[in-house]
């Protein structure tokens, strides 16, 4: 039986300066107070160690994002998160750009201003890779067992929304310490799930806009590969290889999981498990950027009011972070003649 992240999904400016955010508070699980600074040494011939990834700090970032509350596209919560992201990466001297576009609201038809955020490291590099996540939250926790909460409850999206943001915010601390093989862009997609009715409302608004713009208005640079992260903060992390990633982007899929194997990160399991419709599909099928999806789809709190920081772990974020930091330094060269066109 095919398993997907959703039903009926799509197939195919800088900022700087300090800001004070009025956070509500969540309790931090004791387990995240341990800082994961380095995975155990493997052997004398192991690859050079990656810079320390601070699990506690990454979990604090996740909590800060969740303290905003709902971050549904076009809302004040989303605007607050956008300021937080832009100000954070500007402090690390990254180039921050907003890619603005409008999309009709599923209920009213009125235009909703969306913003993809592109954070660039080594912006002059012509050969690049992208790491992407979505940073919006679903309007409602519509899979909650309680019908009242499903219809009108608060969806915080700690794992499904905040985990990718927190991961990239922590990686900013290490990006000046590593030596990426290519230029790197962190891309935050808006409008991944501005969805009230799975049978009616389109998914992947931000990634579709990004991919279409890349195809129709080719930039002066090119993306060799992409990695999408989604729901990577689960306390019980298990990252299987996703079926569409294996079919559409076998090279980055294999290289990411091989990197995890070299680092002895056992949560990356080199077996196919789920077929997921996600933001990597527009990147593969429209932009023709071979992009793999790192996703833990065995998450019992998906689209419920229980998707809270307590269900997540900074240690899980750190395990994904050290793999991606090492992968950025060891990205394989594309095949001679360029990447083959992925199947539709």
Q: Give the burial class of 184: count Cβ atoms within 10 A of its Cβ; 0-12 exposed, 13-18 middle, 19 or more buried.
A: buried
Any idea where the domains of the chain sit in the sequence?
Answer: 49-330
Question: What was the pLDDT predicted at 16?
Answer: 33
Instruction: Provide Rg for the chain, Cα atoms.
Output: 19
- Is residue 39 scored above 70 in pLDDT? no
Q: Tens digits of per-residue pLDDT, 81-111? A: 999 999 999 999 999 999 999 999 999 999 9
Dihedral (CA of 231, 250, 253, 115) sign: negative
- Is residue 17 scored above 80 in pLDDT? no
- Is residue 35 scored above 80 in pLDDT? no
Q: Which two tokens stand for residue 78?
A: 């989303």
Cβ within 8 Å of residue 340, ≥6 positions away? none
* Mean pLDDT score, 250-264: 98
- Is residue 38 scored above 70 in pLDDT? no
Question: What was the pLDDT predicted at 12?
Answer: 32
DSSP E strands: which ranges in the chain? 95-104, 111-121, 127-134, 183-189, 222-230, 239-241, 268-272, 291-295
Question: What was the pLDDT predicted at 155?
Answer: 98
Q: Tens digits of per-residue pLDDT, 296-327? A: 999 999 999 999 999 999 999 999 999 999 99
- Is residue 27 scored above 90 in pLDDT? no
CATH entry, 49-330, from 3.40.50.300, 2.60.120.10, 3.30.70.580, 3.40.630.10: 3.40.630.10
Alpha helices (H) in 172-279, listed in sequence order: 205-216, 243-248, 250-262
Mean pLDDT for the chain overall:
88
Q: Tens digits of per-residue pLDDT, 160-216? A: 999 999 999 999 999 999 999 999 999 999 999 999 999 999 999 999 999 999 999
Among the listed residues 111, 285, 103, 128, the one whose alpha carbon sits nearest the alpha carbon of residue 206: 103
Quickly state the pLDDT bin for 19 (edges 50, 70, 90): very low
Least confident piece of the model among 49-53, 70-74, 295-299, 316-320 = 49-53
Quickly state the pLDDT bin for 337 (edges 50, 70, 90): low
Q: Tens digits of per-residue pLDDT, 240-254? A: 999 999 999 999 999
* Mean pLDDT score, 275-302: 98
Helices (H) and strands (E) in the chain, counts: 9, 8
Question: What was the pLDDT predicted at 286?
Answer: 98
Q: What are phi and psi of 101, to 5 degrees?
A: -160, 165
Q: Tens digits of per-residue pLDDT, 217-232? A: 999 999 999 999 999 9
pTM of the model: 0.86
Cα 158 from chain centre: 12
118 vs 41, more confident: 118
323 vs 8, more confident: 323
Quickly state the pLDDT bin for 342 (edges 50, 70, 90): low
Question: What was the pLDDT predicted at 240?
Answer: 98
Residues of the chain with pLDDT > 70: what percent? 83
């Amino acid at each position: 039986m095919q398993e997907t992240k959703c039903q009926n999904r799509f197939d195919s400016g800088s900022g700087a300066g300090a800001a004070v955010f009025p956070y509500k508070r969540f309790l931090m699980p004791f387990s995240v107070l341990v800082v994961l600074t380095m995975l155990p040494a493997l052997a004398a011939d192991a690859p050079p160690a990656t810079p320390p990834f601070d699990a506690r700090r990454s979990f604090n970032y996740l909590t800060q994002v969740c303290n905003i509350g709902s971050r549904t596209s076009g809302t004040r919560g989303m605007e607050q998160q956008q300021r937080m992201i832009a100000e954070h990466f500007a402090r690390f001297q990254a180039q921050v750009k907003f890619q603005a576009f409008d999309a009709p609201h599923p209920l009213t038809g009125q235009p909703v201003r969306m913003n993809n955020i592109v954070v660039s490291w080594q912006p002059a590099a012509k050969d690049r890779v992208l790491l992407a996540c979505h940073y919006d939250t679903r309007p409602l926790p519509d899979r909650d067992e309680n019908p009242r909460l499903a219809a009108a409850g608060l969806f915080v999206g700690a794992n499904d929304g905040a985990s990718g943001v927190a991961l990239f915010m922590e990686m900013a601390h290490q990006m000046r310490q590593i030596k990426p093989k290519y230029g790197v862009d962190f891309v935050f997609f808006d409008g991944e799930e501005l969805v009230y009715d799975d049978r009616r409302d389109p998914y992947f608004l931000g990634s579709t806009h990004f991919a279409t713009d890349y195809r129709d208005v080719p930039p002066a640079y090119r993306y060799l590969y992409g990695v999408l992260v989604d729901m990577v903060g689960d306390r019980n992390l298990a990252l299987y290889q996703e079926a569409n990633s294996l079919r559409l982007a076998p090279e980055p899929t294999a290289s990411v999981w091989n990197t995890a194997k070299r680092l002895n990160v056992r949560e990356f399991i080199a077996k196919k498990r789920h077929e997921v419709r996600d933001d990597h599909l527009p990147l593969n099928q429209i932009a023709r950027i071979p992009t793999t999806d790192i996703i833990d789809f065995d998450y019992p709190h998906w689209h419920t009011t229980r998707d809270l920081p307590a269900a997540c772990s900074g240690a899980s974020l750190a395990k994904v972070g050290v793999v991606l930091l090492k992968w950025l330094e060891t990205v394989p060269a594309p095949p001679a003649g360029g990447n083959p066109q992925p199947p539709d």
